Amino acid sequence: MLWFSSINLPGNPRNKTALKPGHSLMDWIRLGNSGTDLTGTGGRVQPVSHAELAKHDRVDDAWMAIRGKVYNVTRYMNFHPGGADELIRGIGKDATKLFEEVHAWVNYESLLAKCYVGPLRNTVTDGQPGSEGPAVSIVNSGSDDSLKLSVPIVPRFDWIQKTSELTLIFYTRSLANPGVIVQCVDHLEVAVTLLLEASVEHRYRFHLTNNVQWPCTARTSLETGKIELMFTKLCPALWTSYGQMTYERCENCEMQLHEYDVATRVEITHDSCALLLRPKNNCLLQVTPVGYHVSVSASIEGGEYVSRSYTPVPAGWITTDCPATSVPLLVKSYQDGCLSKQLTRPAPLATSLQLSQPSGNFALSKLRHHNRFALLAAGSGLTPMLALLDYLLDRTSNRIEHICLLYFNKTEADIWCRERLENLCKKDKRFILRHILSESTLPDSSSSPSATTPLSVVLPQIDGSSDGENQASYAHGRISLDIVRQLTTQCSPLYASYCCLCGPKPFNELCLQYFRETDHNPNHLHCFQG
Ligand code: HEM
């Protein structure tokens, strides 16, 4: 069984290197599409032995194996956001473990699609011989759904119409957690990309019978896997067909980037902002799967490029008025974070950004059989929890018994989405909200009976029969083994059979260590990183 192994905790938790002009993600993609042979082998895919791999261990001739696939990373050196020195640590060998330790979430298959040399001989992926397997890996028990997930999803297309509306429908699979990218080429031509499994894209191109308006409305039902794209017809009429469509299944497709700018920026705390990113040509609509992130890159003051991963949040958590094409982000400005400072500074708003399509490794289907959850978030680690909360509380099959969000911050002033979280708590008794503050006294308004008690000892009691109003409670403290024990002990009222955590690396590391010290099933734990 795989289990969590140690994660590097460098002094600087984000060893991000600014990339020289001409070395942005966009430039890398351009190079990949330029026809240049990035494999160095003429593009001929051939199995690579460990001995052969070991020969390519120089900066000017650098091969690297990740999860059984060998890539020539020579040309990627100066494009690597972590810097060439870091990338060099993995060359000439099977770097799976190293790669997973640093950034398991990075979509290397897309980024290096044009650098693929061939399969590593005698290697099977995922922790089997030849590969040390992922450092942070949550393995399913036989009864879970990951086995089913390995069967490729073949989406089924259908359409329906009203006089004024055309709906394109894609049936995927229950809990497939799809990503959707819709591009409007003009009023007749629409391109739809479905992201259903890692490194596979389902690309549809529609030539419609008649003109439609843009943008469309996208509706995805996570429980059924049904995706609906609703278009308003420019001239109301019933059509005899939707038009024509071509379909292509694309494996190991190269990463796509799109130009965005910051359309709206609202301060939410003393050092954080809610942003609405708007596609530059306004002809793009992107739906992010629950728990997935996008990579945002920008040129700093017209020079070096920096990229950073962010998890888009459901619009309802930051505004009641969000255009369908916007990507909503919550961004904390870090002292040494040149990108976050640029994104959150008051003016000018229209920073030019490049946004990747969503990527991630969160399998929603693993949550299917659980109905008691604990979410442990620290600071900006709240972001993946918001979409998860929306989905879980709305879920109709295997209705949720309770979800406990433990939200760790330094002070009250650092809490994100406080009002909305607390309103949700009042509205839905199944949602338990506990703020844990490490550096401040507790708010006077706190009505928690345990407000003055260190949280390491007491978590709020849940009493399903209580008629009292469900309220957020506050405590002073930090993550501790006691807290994790209270969440993982079966007789505890807060017992959660599935736990998710997200925060800065030291927080994640500590949580993982505490979980290891309990009997909690590691298959029932997900750590969002990035
Ligand atoms: C195996 C050797 C590698 C090492 C030691 C390494 C190290 C690092 C480090 C230290 C960072 C900065 C981490 C952070 O921001 O938190 C980074 C970022 C990054 N690396 Fe690597 N890297 C390796 C391989 C690769 C490969 C093969 C790719 C593939 C395509 C890649 C793509 C990236 C990307 C996209 C980022 C930015 C991540 C983000 O914004 O979240 N790295 N890398």
CATH number at residue 290: 2.40.30.10
pLDDT in the model for residue 16: 56
pLDDT band at 109 (very low <50, low <70, confident <90, very high): confident
Residue among 416, 407, 270 nearest 335 (CA): 270
Assign residue 225 a region (left: φ > 0; alpha: ψ between -120 and 50; beta: otherwise). left
Is 89 within the bounds of a domain?
yes
Residue among 386, 295, 366 nearest 108 (CA): 295
One domain, residues 164 and 182: yes
Q: From atom 17 of ligand 1, which residue's Cα is the shortest distance away?
A: 82
Residue among 325, 368, 392 nearest 523 (CA): 368
Statement: residue 44 has pLDDT above 60: yes
Closest atom of ligand 1 relative to the 530 alpha carbon? 41
Distance CA 31, CA 332 (A): 32
Read off the CATH number of the domain in which 217 is found.
2.60.40.790
Statement: residue 450 has pLDDT above 60: no
The ipTM is: 0.96
Dihedral angle sign, alpha carbons of residues 70, 28, 256, 339? positive
Is 70 within the bounds of a domain?
yes
Distance CA 34, CA 30 (A): 6
One domain, residues 405 and 517: yes
Count of the separate structural domains present in the chain = 4
Determine the Cα angle at 401 with ends 396 and 404, to 5°: 115
| Any ligand 1 atom below 6 A from CB of 308 | yes
Is 149 within the bounds of a domain?
no
One domain, residues 436 and 512: yes
One domain, residues 412 and 477: yes
pLDDT band at 487 (very low <50, low <70, confident <90, very high): very high
- Choose the residue to mutate in 8, 79, 102, 353 for probing ligand 1, maximizing ligand atoms within 8 Å of C-beta: 102
Statement: residue 13 has pLDDT above 70: no
What spacing in Å lies between the alpha carbon of 71 and ligand 1's midpoint?
Answer: 15
| Any ligand 1 atom below 6 A from CB of 80 | yes
Percent of the chain residues past pLDDT 90, beyond the cut: 61
Is 133 within the bounds of a domain?
no
SS3 403: strand
Read off the CATH number of the domain in which 102 is found.
3.10.120.10
Strands 200-208, 243-251: pairing is antiparallel
pLDDT band at 442 (very low <50, low <70, confident <90, very high): low
Averaged pLDDT, 519-528: 94
One domain, residues 95 and 33: yes
**Of 527 and 455, the one with more pLDDT:** 527
One domain, residues 111 and 199: no
One domain, residues 76 and 104: yes
Averaged pLDDT, 242-247: 96
Last residue of a domain, one of 94, 121, 148: 121
Distance CA 35, CA 231 (A): 37
One domain, residues 512 and 397: yes
One domain, residues 164 and 60: no
Enclosing domain of residue 382: 364-440+470-527
Residue among 37, 106, 52, 18 nearest 530 (CA): 106
pLDDT band at 468 (very low <50, low <70, confident <90, very high): low
* pTM recorded for the entire structure: 0.75
Is 204 within the bounds of a domain?
yes
Token duo for residue 214: 């843009």
Which range (24-38, 115-129, 473-487, 514-528) has the least confidence?
115-129
Read off the CATH number of the domain in which 424 is found.
3.40.50.80
Is 170 within the bounds of a domain?
yes
Statement: residue 240 has pLDDT above 90: yes
Statement: residue 12 has pLDDT above 80: no
| Any ligand 1 atom below 6 A from CB of 17 | no
Q: Tell me the per-residue pLDDT of 249-267, one tens digit each, with 9 for 90 and over.
A: 988 777 788 999 998 999 9
One domain, residues 345 and 264: yes
pLDDT in the model for residue 464: 42
Q: From atom 3 of ligand 1, which residue's Cα is the shortest distance away?
A: 87
Render the burial of 157-187: b for 16+ CB within 10 Å, e for the rest.
bebebeeebbbbbbbbbbbbbbbbbbbbeee
Statement: residue 125 has pLDDT above 80: no
- Look up tokens 């957020």; give the residue: 472
Last residue of a domain, one of 359, 387, 403: 359
Last residue of a domain, one of 217, 235, 251: 251
Is 397 within the bounds of a domain?
yes
Render the burial of 286-308: b for 16+ CB within 10 Å, e for the rest.
bbbbbbbbbbbbbbeeeebbbbb
Is 144 within the bounds of a domain?
no
pLDDT in the model for residue 333: 87
pLDDT in the model for residue 135: 30
One domain, residues 379 and 498: yes
| Any ligand 1 atom below 6 A from CB of 284 | no
What spacing in Å lies between the alpha carbon of 6 and ligand 1's midpoint?
Answer: 17
- Choose the residue to mutate in 57, 101, 106 for probing ligand 1, maximizing ligand atoms within 8 Å of C-beta: 106
Average pLDDT score over the chain: 84
One domain, residues 114 and 44: yes
Percent of the chain residues past pLDDT 70, beyond the cut: 85
Q: Tell me the per-residue pLDDT of 287-338, one tens digit each, with 9 for 90 and over.
A: 999 999 999 988 877 777 788 899 999 999 998 888 999 999 999 988 777 7
pLDDT in the model for residue 441: 64
SS3 398: coil
pLDDT in the model for residue 241: 95
